[in-house]
Chains A and B, each alone.
Chain A
């Protein structure tokens, strides 16, 4: 049943319709055939009976006189005439008392039935047709005629009728099937075209074909509707296609942009670290396959942070672009230059033969970048440090090479400005030291493990203490006493400088207030603050808060800044320093004479003191030009109404010469090394009593 149902479901609509029509026709024909058969049989039976009855009637009519006159012979002759009808099996002529008057029987062995068994005038008993007919004479029944005929004719006729009806049925079904097939083919032709159209659309996703609607019937309406729908879809598809093309072009553009964004630095248009790693891996594969060498240069711009902080990010960005152009102009076409991030660049050198091939390029890069760069009216000097790692000597994979080049770059920085350095495996230990230092630095800040030492500043005229510079020190249990030159750059790199500066400022102010409470001579405490602190939006507010907390007079605080503080965003720096000076805080320019900025700021900035860099002081008496510079600085400061202080004064000659040059204050080991807070207290008290 399920198979039949599955088979039916797989048929086409046309075949289903044809099947249903054929089945309905078959059922109708079967019913009609049954009815016709029944009617035929009944009619034939009636015909046979009527025929038999007619014979009986005839016998009855013609046998009356024989009955009345007792003429058996004539009666027998009459019945014998039925011999001409083979179906007639026997016949009886009975008198009025139903006694046999005459008889006829086809076969002598045939048993004649009793007349009593007849219930009707015509009936079928034992497959034999029985008809009996009263013999009447003037309304008087004078006898009876009984004729019995076999029903083989009826059976034969039944078979004939069955055969005829079967043939009619088969022919009718065939004709019906053929007519249905042809008519439905004709009627369903538009439907088939419609189905074909739908299949075409489904297969090809094309909507350009149509079916012509010939009629206005439901099918015509359907075809018109489908055509209209296809018109709409085709129009929408065209619009969609156009829209899709626009989108595709936009996607292609966006993809290209995303690819560029993902692989190139937006500022310098150089490959970024992602693309570099790809190229590096590819280069490693090539070098391994070709058994060649390659090298990785890790460049970090020296002092870029100062420039970026002081001149602004826009200038810093322009500087990075210029640097990128310069590096790209120097390297070979086969080499790759990428911006690793911030002020770090990487140059990938491939197809090298020996280490010596790298050195000229490194020197060329350093030389090119050391040339002044003109930006926004400022002539900037920038240098770079280069760390170099080679494949396969310094690493077998990209991450190792990058890490080792970075380590080598830090080692180059340690060597000074504009240096390059090849990686050596013992540098890994130094790199680990830096990581350790960073970690300990964070812990020290949290635990306040730093301490300050104080170096007095002596007035050359009076010999009195006119100021004390607070200097930070870090005593680590494992690393021992660390010089600020060792850890302050690290603090700057890891972003701890601001917090560290706040701690120093508060500690120094607190200590100065303590000294004053202890009866020491009132003096200023000088604190070095980096440019980043001054440029911080809350710098003035935080300094004010510290002074409030420590109850220290602003006049007892001096802030030392470097010339680099003014390089970037001079206006903001002037604004901050002006606010500080108005509070009473003295501003000193530290390391004066070593910067690159214009001297014109001295005229505009609210500074009160110039601090001559120790490098000049240490060369006093050795180089006349150096002495001239010192004298020029002092003369310049004096002419601007500024006080001057010289640091790193270590002997009497230096002190005497500086005094003779007009320097107002002297700081250095000649008078005192940096002292602890307690020793400074003692020093101050001693100086006071003296």
Chain B
């Protein structure tokens, strides 16, 4: 029952959040979005929400921050979906913008989301918060990993990874997460 209500709610939330982005794009994109599973869309929304509960550092090595960049494999069908989702959205007190970019060498990513089939080079992810779509993969590099529990999407956090990245996550986020041991 709860799952049903949750799903309904989630669907509505996603629809609401994506309404502005999805109503006017091309029919082709709409069709592509429809091809996404509910779970993928939910994971995309979670990824975006993760950025809200992370205390991003003010400066990085390259410049002062005005934007949080989420990177996805360029072949990941969620790339466009997530991009449209964060379009015009800001996070944090500084109201930083969120940008969704294809993951590539040289791309300055703050958060990278990898699907089940992605096999990124760990050396390149040392300063990037990695979110894995499945807990079974990317165990050594992922800070957040999704998993399902009774048809409910949950996530696990690797506090060690988080610490290595010198990032802090909100306790609000942590209380929802399963802490990796």
A interface residues, Cβ below 8 angstroms from B: 62, 64-66, 68-74, 95-97, 99, 101, 137-139
Q: Which residues of A contact B173 (CB under 8 A)?
A: 65
Q: Is the CB of A65 within 8 A of B176?
A: yes
Q: Is the CB of A62 within 8 A of B172?
A: yes
Instruction: Mark the stretch among B90-98, B101-109, B114-122 that contacts chain A.
Output: B90-98
B83 contacts A by Cβ under 8 Å = no
Q: Is the CB of B176 within 8 A of A66?
A: yes
Residue of A nearest to B92 (CB): A138
What total of A-B pairs shows CB separation below 8 Å? Answer: 45
Instruction: Mark the stretch among B8-16, B29-37, B131-139 that contacts chain A.
Output: B8-16
13 A-B pairs within 8 Å (CB atoms) are namely A62-B172, A65-B170, A65-B172, A65-B176, A70-B6, A70-B10, A97-B12, A101-B9, A137-B52, A138-B91, A138-B92, A138-B93, A138-B95
Q: Is the CB of B6 within 8 A of A68?
A: no
Q: Is the CB of A70 within 8 A of B52?
A: no
Q: Is the CB of A73 within 8 A of B90?
A: no
Q: Which residues of A contact B91 (CB under 8 A)?
A: 138
The contact of A64 among B9, B16, B92, B172, by CB within 8 Å, is: B172
Q: Is the CB of A72 within 8 A of B176?
A: no
Q: Is the CB of B52 within 8 A of A68?
A: yes
B2 contacts A by Cβ under 8 Å = yes
Q: Is the CB of A65 within 8 A of B175?
A: yes
Residue of B nearest to A71 (CB): B176
Starting from the known contacts A65-B53, A68-B49, A74-B176, 20 additional A-B residue pairs (CB-CB under 8 Å) come to A62-B172, A64-B172, A65-B176, A66-B176, A69-B49, A70-B6, A70-B13, A71-B176, A72-B5, A72-B6, A74-B175, A95-B12, A95-B13, A96-B13, A101-B9, A138-B90, A138-B91, A138-B92, A138-B93, A139-B95
Q: Is the CB of A95 within 8 A of B9?
A: yes
Q: Which residues of A contact B9 (CB under 8 A)?
A: 70, 95, 99, 101
Q: Which residues of B contact A97 (CB under 8 A)?
A: 12, 16
Residue of B nearest to A140 (CB): B89
Q: Which residues of B contact A99 (CB under 8 A)?
A: 9, 12
**How far, in Å, is B126 (CB) from chain A's closest CB?**
27
Q: Which are the 9 A-B pairs with shortest beta-carbon distances?
A: A65-B172, A68-B49, A70-B6, A70-B10, A69-B176, A138-B91, A71-B176, A65-B176, A72-B2
B46 contacts A by Cβ under 8 Å = yes
Q: How many residues of B contact A (CB 8 A)?
A: 22
B10, B52, B90, B95, most chain A CB atoms within 10 A: B52
Q: Which residues of A contact B92 (CB under 8 A)?
A: 138
Residue of B nearest to A77 (CB): B175
**How far, in Å, is B144 (CB) from chain A's closest CB?**
12
Residue of A nearest to B155 (CB): A69
**How far, in Å, is A524 (CB) from chain B's closest CB?**
175
For the complex, give the distance between the alpha carbons of A64 and B173 in Å: 9
For the complex, give the distance between the alpha carbons of A70 and B52 in Å: 15
Q: Is the CB of B52 within 8 A of A138?
A: yes
Q: Which residues of A contact B6 (CB under 8 A)?
A: 70, 72
Q: Which residues of A contact B53 (CB under 8 A)?
A: 65
**How far, in Å, is A646 (CB) from chain B's closest CB?**
182
For the complex, give the distance between the alpha carbons of A65 and B173 in Å: 6
A71, A137, A138, most chain B CB atoms within 10 A: A138
**How far, in Å, is B51 (CB) from chain A's closest CB?**
10
For the complex, give the distance between the alpha carbons of A66 and B176 in Å: 7
**How far, in Å, is A340 (CB) from chain B's closest CB?**
144
Q: Which residues of B contact A70 (CB under 8 A)?
A: 6, 9-10, 13
8 Å CB contacts to A: which residues of B158-175?
170, 172-173, 175
Q: Which residues of B contact A68 (CB under 8 A)?
A: 49, 52
Q: Which residues of B contact A65 (CB under 8 A)?
A: 49, 53, 170, 172-173, 175-176
Residue of A nearest to B46 (CB): A69
Residue of B nearest to A137 (CB): B52
Q: Which residues of B contact A74 (CB under 8 A)?
A: 175-176
A69, A99, A139, most chain B CB atoms within 10 A: A69
For the complex, give the distance between the alpha carbons of A73 and B1 in Å: 12
Q: Which residues of A contact B5 (CB under 8 A)?
A: 72
Q: Which residues of B contact A95 (CB under 8 A)?
A: 9, 12-13
For the complex, give the distance between the alpha carbons of A111 and B92 in Å: 38
B12, B13, B16, most chain A CB atoms within 10 A: B13
B10, B49, B90, B92, most chain A CB atoms within 10 A: B49
Q: Is the CB of A96 within 8 A of B172?
A: no
Q: Which residues of A contact B49 (CB under 8 A)?
A: 65, 68-69
B10, B53, B170, most chain A CB atoms within 10 A: B53
Residue of A nearest to B90 (CB): A138
Q: Which residues of B contact A137 (CB under 8 A)?
A: 52
Q: Which residues of B contact A96 (CB under 8 A)?
A: 13, 16
